[in-house]
């Protein structure tokens, strides 16, 4: 299974800026007050996704007060969201021309590179930010995603590990970390990562299947049964998970009724793995063996 899939999005490190208060110095003159008003108007349009209107308001704020850096950050983001990447780079490069190591501006530039489709340059830009601040959590996260996309799963795992250590409360990223470990075959570590999740966290079917496999390997069959049951609750068409659930109920829990029910669900969902069917019948202990063989034979899975 590929790690960090499922529609994961890059996080913009400037998110906090959007709700930030206007610099205190803005209250020092009528012009700066007017600039702050245009800045807040821009934020209002930004929150509605009206990028062109937001950009116009931010540009007006900057024309009144060129030192209002927050407006330049948000202008760059609004322009990027609207597809005006040259304008976005111009806005953020204006900040960097004054402060070349501005972490927020460098992060914004990396995000714009990613948004414009240049993942390689975005990765290099994010890594430049990490060279200045090795514990920038959102940047660690983004670097991990880009490393994974580039095929560097080891690098992605290292970044995600650093991220979850910096932000242990971020359970969504902990799930991504567990998936990455699974993708690298580091099952024991993946199980530990999954184990740190709160019971209220809703996982995807793949995660529950991963857990079931890991728990089976550890011979914790009761928990594996629970995990496979959760997997099919999330995705009732997951035939392989239904079959795993049936197999464990029949061979480990000796739950004939529950095992046959799960087997029916697996077959209805299109399960067609003849090797797995033969392995099931080869189990030394198997509840309802004759009925199991009948069902598998009827589907052509055993001679």
**Residue 32 confidence (pLDDT):** 61
- Is 239 domain-assigned? yes
Q: Residue 229 belongs to what domain range?
A: 202-303
- Is 64 domain-assigned? no
- Is 25 domain-assigned? no
**269-to-36, 47, 127 alpha-carbon distances in Å:** 59, 43, 45
Task: Please report which confidence band the pLDDT of residue 116 belongs to, taking 50, 70 and 90 as the band edges.
Answer: very high
282-301: per-residue pLDDT in tens?
999 999 999 999 999 999 99
pTM of the entire structure?
0.67
- Is 282 domain-assigned? yes
- Is 254 domain-assigned? yes
Which contacts of 227-234 are long-range, i.e. CB under 8 A and separated by 24 or more positions? 230/203, 231/205, 231/206, 232/205, 232/262, 232/265, 234/203, 234/204, 234/205, 234/208
Contact 270, 239 (CB under 8 A): yes
Among 239, 245, 248, CA closest to 262: 245
**Residue 242 confidence (pLDDT):** 97
**Residue 126 confidence (pLDDT):** 92
Among 39, 33, 74, CA closest to 57: 39
**260-to-64, 168, 266 alpha-carbon distances in Å:** 74, 41, 10
- Is 74 domain-assigned? no
- Is 289 domain-assigned? yes
**Residue 31 confidence (pLDDT):** 58
- Is 269 domain-assigned? yes
Residue 265 maps to which CATH number? Answer: 1.25.40.10
| The total number of structural domains that make up the chain | 1
124-157: per-residue pLDDT in tens?
999 999 899 887 767 888 888 899 888 899 998 9
Q: End-to-end CA distance of the chain, in Å? A: 32
């Amino acid at each position: 299974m590929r790690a960090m899939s499922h529609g994961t999005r890059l996080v913009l490190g400037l998110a906090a800026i959007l709700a930030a208060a206007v610099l205190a110095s803005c209250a020092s003159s009528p012009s700066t007050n007017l600039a702050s008003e245009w800045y807040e108007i821009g934020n209002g349009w930004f929150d509605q996704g009206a990028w062109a209107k937001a950009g116009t308001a931010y540009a007006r704020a900057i024309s009144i007060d060129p030192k209002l850096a927050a407006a330049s950050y948000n202008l760059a983001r609004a322009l990027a969201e609207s597809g005006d990447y040259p304008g976005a780079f111009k806005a953020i490069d204006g900040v960097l021309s004054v402060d070349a190591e501005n972490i927020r501006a460098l992060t914004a530039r990396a995000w714009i590179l990613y948004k414009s489709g240049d993942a390689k340059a975005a990765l290099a830009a994010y890594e430049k930010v990490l060279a200045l601040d090795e514990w920038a959590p959102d940047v660690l996260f983004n670097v991990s995603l880009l490393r994974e996309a580039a095929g560097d799963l080891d690098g992605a795992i290292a970044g995600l590990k650093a991220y979850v250590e910096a932000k242990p409360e971020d359970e969504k990223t902990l799930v991504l970390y567990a998936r990455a470990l699974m993708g690298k075959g580091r099952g024991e570590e993946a199980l530990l990562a999954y184990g740190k999740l709160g019971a209220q966290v809703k996982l995807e079917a793949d995660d529950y299947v991963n857990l079931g496999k890991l728990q089976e390997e550890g011979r914790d069959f009761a928990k594996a049964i629970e995990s496979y049951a959760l997997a099919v609750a999330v995705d009732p068409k997951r035939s392989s998970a239904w079959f795993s659930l049936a197999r464990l109920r029949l061979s480990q829990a000796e739950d004939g009724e529950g095992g046959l029910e799960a087997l029916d669900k697996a077959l209805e969902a299109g399960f067609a793995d003849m090797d797995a069917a033969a392995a099931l019948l080869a189990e030394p202990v198997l509840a309802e063996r004759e009925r199991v063989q009948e069902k598998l034979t009827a589907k052509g899975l055993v001679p």
